[in-house]
């Protein structure tokens, strides 16, 4: 397995939100709860740790999207040489949990040897590899393929984030643990046949290890589209625009689709009541989403995106957007809900100037030109 281990990088998320856990859904999934195993121990340099696979000599690295989700900085250490690289993310497919990062200034690296996941069968012997527990070194977990074409539902345990449905997964008995996310699931001849993605969190009724990996053929197909810069549905190439407003979410953690700001407000109040943390929205900008609250007054409009707060040092706070305002338009496009605002911004790159229109609780219409920040990966 030396060739495979030499094609790995470890410990590359400098700053990221806590990542989702997953529970199996109806259909092909097994029973029990599963977690995205990327938050390993504290590797020097700080932040969540995980694994990635080098897929080109110039430093293209394949990993999971949930590993880079929310990150504001990336570094990577090549296992073969111990060299540390600054890295940037090129793109991701959230619904498939695949992402590509690039090691800056890298050359002459050895890619991982790749197999053919179409040939994988139940009962095949495999080895899960990765930066287990965030130690900064590669560990090996033997097991077998126990099922094919599995489906799991992933959700951010305790944070209220939207659930993600992952399909077509390889199921394995290999002991996949925190830090392994983005690492290889390899055949006995050392060829990568999958990417470690999710694992049991101990609630599985069988008492056995249950891990899941994305078939390498599918992961690489997505990765090559990202590298080539070929947009397709569900694929984010490069950064998207970031205004810096906090908006209401539905009960499942996703942005609300409700057009009426008063309904959005009720949704958000219900969300916060479930968490036992209802308090008024601050009158100043906030440092993160945990500081937002419930606006005491909102703009008297029938549709748009209700603002719960503006993050400090962003375009929104600079422009004076505040809790209770309702965003109604981006350039010529009407904003009909928080979800519609997100959809519009995903199609606009960071650094782009846009004309934003919003209405204040005093029924004052405001239109300003803002330069969007680059959003972290979602």
Per-residue pLDDT at 196 exceeds 90: yes
| 45/340: higher pLDDT | 340
What secondary structure does DSSP assign to 305-341, as a single string? EE--EEBTTSHHHHHT--TT-EEEEETTEEP-SHHHH
- Phi, psi at 50, each rounded to 5°: -160, -155
User: What pLDDT digit, counting tens, does each position of 243-270 carry?
Assistant: 999 999 887 667 899 999 999 999 999 9
Percent helix, strand, coil in the chain, to 5, is 15, 35, 50
User: What pLDDT digit, counting tens, does each position of 205-244 carry?
Assistant: 444 578 999 999 999 999 999 999 988 888 989 888 889 9
Q: Closest by alpha carbon to 232, among 243, 245, 223, 241? A: 223
The reply to whether domains 2-228 and 239-374 share a CATH topology is no
pLDDT attached to residue 12: 57
pTM of the model: 0.76
User: What pLDDT digit, counting tens, does each position of 354-363 carry?
Assistant: 999 999 999 9
Q: What is the mean pLDDT of residues 331-337?
A: 96
CATH number corresponding to 2-228: 2.40.10.120
Q: Tell me the pairing of strands 211-215 and 73-78.
A: unpaired
pLDDT attached to residue 163: 62
pLDDT attached to residue 19: 32
Decide: 122 and 33 in contact? Cβ < 8 Å: no
DSSP state of 351: T
pLDDT attached to residue 10: 79
- Round the average pLDDT of the chain to a whole number and report it: 84
Domain ranges, ordered by start, for the chain: 2-228, 239-374
pLDDT grade, residue 201 (50/70/90)?
low
CATH class of 239-374: mainly beta
Q: What is the mean pLDDT of residues 7-15?
A: 66
Contacts of 229 (CB under 8 A, 6+ apart): 91, 237, 238
User: What pLDDT digit, counting tens, does each position of 282-306 carry?
Assistant: 888 998 877 778 999 999 999 999 9
């Amino acid at each position: 397995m030396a060739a495979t281990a030499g094609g790995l990088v470890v410990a590359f998320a400098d700053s990221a939100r806590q990542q989702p856990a997953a529970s199996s859904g109806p259909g092909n999934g097994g029973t029990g709860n599963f977690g995205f195993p990327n938050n390993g121990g504290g590797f020097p340099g700080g932040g969540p740790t995980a694994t990635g696979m080098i897929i080109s000599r110039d430093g293209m690295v394949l990993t999971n999207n949930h590993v880079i989700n929310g990150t504001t900085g990336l570094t990577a250490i090549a296992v073969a040489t111990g060299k540390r690289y600054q890295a940037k993310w090129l793109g991701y497919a959230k619904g498939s949990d695949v992402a590509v990062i690039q090691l800056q200034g890298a050359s002459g690296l050895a890619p991982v040897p790749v197999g053919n996941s179409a040939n994988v069968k139940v009962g095949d012997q495999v080895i899960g590899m990765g930066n287990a527990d965030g130690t900064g070194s590669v560990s090996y977990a033997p097991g077998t393929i126990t099922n094919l074409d599995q489906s799991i539902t992933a959700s951010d345990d305790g944070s209220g984030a939207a659930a993600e449905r992952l399909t077509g997964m390889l199921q394995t008995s290999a002991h996949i643990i925190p830090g392994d996310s983005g690492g290889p699931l390899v055949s006995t001849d050392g060829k990568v046949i999958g990417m470690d993605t999710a694992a049991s969190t101990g609630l599985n009724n069988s008492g056995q290890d249950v891990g899941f990996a994305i078939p390498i053929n599918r992961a690489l197909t997505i990765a090559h589209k990202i590298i080539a810069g070929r947009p397709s549905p569900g694929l984010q190439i490069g950064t998207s625009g970031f205004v810096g407003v906090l908006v209401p979410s539905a009960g499942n953690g996703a942005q609300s689709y409700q057009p009426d700001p008063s309904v959005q407000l009720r949704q958000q109040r219900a969300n916060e009541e479930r968490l036992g943390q209802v308090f008024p929205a601050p009158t100043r900008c906030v440092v993160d989403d945990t500081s937002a609250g419930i606006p005491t007054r909102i703009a008297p409009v029938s549709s748009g995106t209700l603002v719960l707060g503006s993050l400090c040092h962003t375009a929104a706070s600079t422009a004076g957007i505040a809790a209770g305002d309702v965003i109604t338009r981006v350039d010529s496009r009407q904003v009909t809900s928080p979800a519609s605002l997100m959809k519009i911004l995903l199609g606009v790159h960071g650094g782009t100037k846009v004309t934003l229109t919003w209405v204040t609780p005093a029924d004052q219409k405001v239109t300003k030109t803002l330069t969007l920040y680059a959003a972290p990966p979602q």
